Amino acid sequence: MEWPIGFGWPAVGIDLGTTNSCIGTFRNDQIQIIRNEHGDHTTASCVAFTDNGRLIGADAKSRVATNHAGTVFDIKRLIGRKYYDPVVIAESRRLPFRIVEKLGRAAVEVNFKGETRIFTPEEISSMILSKLKAMAEHHLGLAPGSDIACVVTVPSTFNIYQRQSTVSACAIAGLHVFRTVPEPTAAAFAYDHFRIRNPGEKPERLVLVFDGSYIRFFLFSPFNAVLGDTKVFLFQKRGSFHVDHILFP
């Protein structure tokens, strides 16, 4: 069986989103988005801690109303940030679970199996990534715990600490990060992927991507190389929650 290869291992692409995440691979000359156990292409970026165990994805999201203090979501807003970061302070007023300090960084405190536990955003993110990795292993016919390389997307506004924290979360989940890619860049490449194979298409094309923080303009060459990349700042808050709030106040 043929797989895309990174570092000598099967490779996947991951969109670790604020609200939802997804994982895909490139096989048989096609991009394949891997479905979860519910048959969905996306998995909720949500982790619920209970007295009996841990839930991830849609099962965790369904517990938000009944277990709000133990259901962690929107963790991407906290990753790589210090505890006294203005964004962390603002999010602590909105999010229902408790945000605490751990080694100067933001972390979350939950009750898990009858014990009070503190998890970093990297650890929470790694739980979501572990679920995505298990989905990829099943889809690719790999044994659990197999080495998998990945390309993971990050917001354009992420600084070096947030990017490194994302890489650390992947490492905790057992994924080997080949590269991080800005989300609008990944979207532009995905949009342009099949169009470059059509000989009737123009040799160069302009792709506009709106990702919630920026409008970015990409100019592609016939060889899928980015000839130009310009961005127009809109607002820094990320995720579908904020977009919905602006469109439907």
Residue 165 sits in a domain of what CATH number?
Answer: 3.30.420.40
Determine whether 122 is an active site residue: no
Q: Give how many domains the chain has, as a whole number.
A: 2
Range of the domain at 223: 185-247
Query: Looking at residue 137, what is its pLDDT?
Result: 95
For range 93-110, the mean pLDDT:
96
Q: Closest by alpha carbon to 120, among 85, 65, 94, 82?
A: 82
Is residue 146 located within the same domain as residue 191?
A: no
Do 140 and 205 reside in the same domain of the chain?
Answer: no
Catalytic residue (one of 61, 131, 183, 237): 183
Is the pLDDT confidence value at 143 over 70? Answer: yes
**Which residue out of 76, 131, 133, 237 is catalytically annotated?**
76
Enumerate residues 6+ apart whose C-beta is below 8 A from 140.
Answer: 1, 3, 10, 25
**Which of 61, 123, 211, 237 is flagged as catalytic?**
211
- Residues 161-189 have a mean pLDDT of 91
131 is catalytic: no
Mark whether 74 is an active-site residue: no
Q: 147 and 127, same structural domain? A: yes
Q: Provide mean pLDDT across the span 103-131.
A: 97
Q: State yes or no: pLDDT of 140 exceeds 80.
A: yes
- Choice among 40-54, 153-167, 173-187, 217-231 with the minimum mean pLDDT: 217-231
Do 146 and 207 reside in the same domain of the chain? no
Is there a single domain that holds both residue 142 and residue 210?
no
The reply to whether 91 and 166 lie within a common domain is yes
Residue 156 banded pLDDT, cuts 50, 70, 90:
confident
Q: What is the average pLDDT value for the chain, to the nearest integer? A: 83
Residues 196 and 239 in one domain: yes
pLDDT of 216 reads 60
Beta bridge partners of 109: 98, 118
Reply yes or no on whether the pLDDT at 243 is more than 60.
Answer: no
pTM greater than the 0.85 cutoff = no
| Nearest alpha-carbon partner for 72 in 118, 36, 10 | 118
pLDDT, position 23: 97
pLDDT at residue 235 above 50?
no
Mean pLDDT of all residues in 78-97:
95
Q: Which residues contact 22 (CB under 8 A, 6 or more apart)?
A: 14, 15, 33, 34, 41, 42, 43, 132
The pLDDT of residue 40 is 95
Q: What is the mean pLDDT of residues 233-248?
A: 51
Burial code of 43-70, b = ≥16 C-beta within 10 A, e = fewer?
Answer: bbbbbbbbeeeebbbbebbebbeebeeb
pLDDT classification of 45: cutoffs 50, 70, 90: very high
Structure token pair of residue 122: 């990297």
DSSP E strand boundaries for the chain: 5-6, 9-15, 20-27, 30-33, 43-44, 46-49, 54-56, 71-73, 98-102, 105-112, 115-119, 148-154, 175-182, 205-210, 214-220, 226-233
CA angle 123, 236, 100 (to 5 degrees): 35
**What pLDDT was estimated at residue 34?**
96
* 211: annotated active-site residue: yes
pLDDT (average), residues 9-30? 90
- 41 and 76, same domain (yes or no): yes
